[in-house]
Amino acid sequence: MTTKTTDTPADAQVSAARMAENLKKVEALAERLGQVMSNRQGHQAALDGPNQELFAKAGQAYATEAVTNPAKLMEHQMGYWTKTVTHFMEAQQALAKGTLSAPEDKTGKDRRFSNPLWETHPYFNFVKQQYLINAEAVTQAVEDVTDMEPREKQRLAYFSRQIVDMMSPTNFLATNPDALQRAIETDGESLIKGLENLISDLESNNGELIVKLADEKAFELGRNIATSPGKVVFRNKMFELIQYTPTTEKVHATPLLIFPPWINKFYILDLKAQNSMVKWLVDQGHTLFMISWVNPDATYRDIGMEDYIQDGYLAAIREAKAITGEDQVNAVGYCIAGTTLSLTLSLLKQKGDKSVKSATLFTALTDFSDQGEFRPFLTDDFIDGIEAETADKGILPSIIMARTFSYLRANDLVYGPAVKSYMMGETPPAFDLLYWNGDGANLPAKMAMQYLRGLCQRNELAEGGFDLMGHHLVLDEVDVPLCAIACETDHIAPWKDSYRGVQKMGAKDKTFIMTQSGHIAGIVNPPSKGKYGHYTNDDTGLTHEDWLEGATFHEGSWWPRWGKWLQKRSGKMIPARTPGAEGRKIVSDAPGAYVAKKASH
């Protein structure tokens, strides 16, 4: 580690003055910390972890394994003990040489341990290797448990991984060389700044620790994010309808209407001009409408899926048709909005309403039979906690959804940012995507439970039908021309699960595209970046394995391919439509008022 040169008397006085100043700062910060923790508004205890029966069952299963297969258990215990003692002896031998060097390190690369000191310094290398040996032992112990239901074992693996990730030496000041070096270089100023960042995050979330991922002061809606010009042309209790200003002299006759997820804000599709799908679609000659959902508070307690359909989807379709004078729209649904668009299409089919000409689904799940990485959160103990939370507050606060998603990628979205902010004293980056990620939305109590119980837990839409608004809604009645986009590494809506739902839909004109990358980067993938490719296969009757085996890979973004698909279903070219033409009412400029409302905690 780096060391400072000998201080002069003048330097010592400056250092002492700085130390006194820092102590005053610490005292003030400690008072703020005590205040925020005393005012902490905690959520239901059931949401903080699994039912303790899970660990009791794990212990019982481990004991059973010890009785039925003691040799296997002994082998693993001896293997772990041998590795840890061998490494200790190697470290001792390296120190005995008097060179202050680490023993040979055969551990793999890990982004958490990028500082060279993790490999060269005997202390940090010893800590790292011992941690990795312990982590491997815990992981192996979970894998070896056989006397547990697969669902319970998956949950055990998830919560065990959380413990392993949390105990990484990078998460503690005494065993993080980066943080210690920064503290020495700044005379402790980095630690003071880190404490300020920690308290600021706690104050912003009523005592809940949610690590701020982006510099919120760097962005302003309508100024440097969500800047595509347009007008809010309609507003009700559920949404604002944005009509974007055309950039071409002529546009396709059939308007395009996008339904973003109401778990997040719509401007993920309009971050900045370089990666804005909104701008790209307008430049392709589409009359584009975007839904900006309301951010609900406790007064929305009894708002359900039926309200999102009746006062959201159907109202928006009606308004877009009235504004353009067209009989049909092309509709897009992203994530949960794609799930709900599928419900809406089944409803329209039963009503004989042909208002939707074609549908596009972005990373949408309609068959939840394989709950993937979300399985730990879809068992009764967790959902019971959600139900108690929503009954108490009238909403499912965005903080709970944010925490759930973050801990699926804890090292990248929790511990890594926390180390930089709280131990290194760094200001979060001015990154638009991370700013959007932190700008969450609440969910109404009734809607949240309908979704979690009926769609996710019981998988009613794909297995028998989902009852809503006096109708029995089924996937087979989703029969409009359909294009579905799924993402190869999506951990929220895995592509194979999205594909399985599409297979059950009744559309004869059906296109399925799998793009590289994940839930966000796979969708927000403009052609100009040339970053991620995509796969196509016309035969959607195959298993997902066979579909991928026979798929053709294409370099570059899927946007132009979808654009051509959309163009064929968008009608003739007509003079461009300007928002507010023919005396229609303008509510406000885009991006509107609803998107600016912050979620309550």
Specify whether the CB–CB gap between 432 and 219 falls below 8 A: yes
- Omega prior to 116 cis, within 30 of 0: no
d(CA 416, CA 111): 10
Helix (H, G, I), strand (E, B) or coil at 366: coil
d(CA 368, CA 235): 33
d(CA 572, CA 567): 9
d(CA 279, CA 30): 47
d(CA 242, CA 229): 10
Specify whether the CB–CB gap between 421 and 580 falls below 8 A: no
Q: Return the residue matching tokens 């009989």.
A: 327
Query: Residues in the chain, how many?
Result: 601
d(CA 432, CA 31): 33
**C-alpha angle with apex 362: 358 to 364, nearest 5 degrees?**
100
Q: Tell me the H-state helices in 175-272.
A: 177-185, 189-204
The neighbouring-strand residues paired with 343 are none
What are the two backbone dihedrals, phi and then psi, of residue 470, each rounded to the nearest 5 degrees?
A: 75, 15
Q: Tell me the H-state helices in 329-456.
A: 336-351, 380-393, 398-407, 410, 416-418, 432-438, 445-449
- List the structure tokens of 318: 């009606």
335 is catalytic: yes
- List the structure tokens of 368: 């939840």
| C-alpha closest to that of 542 among 506, 512, 522, 507 | 512
Please tell me the number of Cα atoms within 13 Å of 441 on its side-chain side: 23
Non-local (6+) Cβ contacts of 55 within 8 A are 156
Which residue in the list 335, 456, 483, 487 is annotated as catalytic? Answer: 335
- How far lies 427's CA from each of 23, 198, 320, in Å? 21, 11, 43
| C-alpha closest to that of 206 among 400, 448, 25 | 400
Helix (H, G, I), strand (E, B) or coil at 396: strand
d(CA 129, CA 137): 12
Q: What is the CA radius of gyration of the chain?
A: 27
| C-alpha closest to that of 244 among 235, 233, 253, 236 | 233
- How far lies 303's CA from each of 296, 325, 400, 448, 466, in Å? 9, 30, 19, 9, 17
DSSP E strand boundaries for 208-253: 230-235, 239-244, 250-252
For residue 70, give the H/E element and its range.
helix 70-96
Annotated catalytic residues are: 335
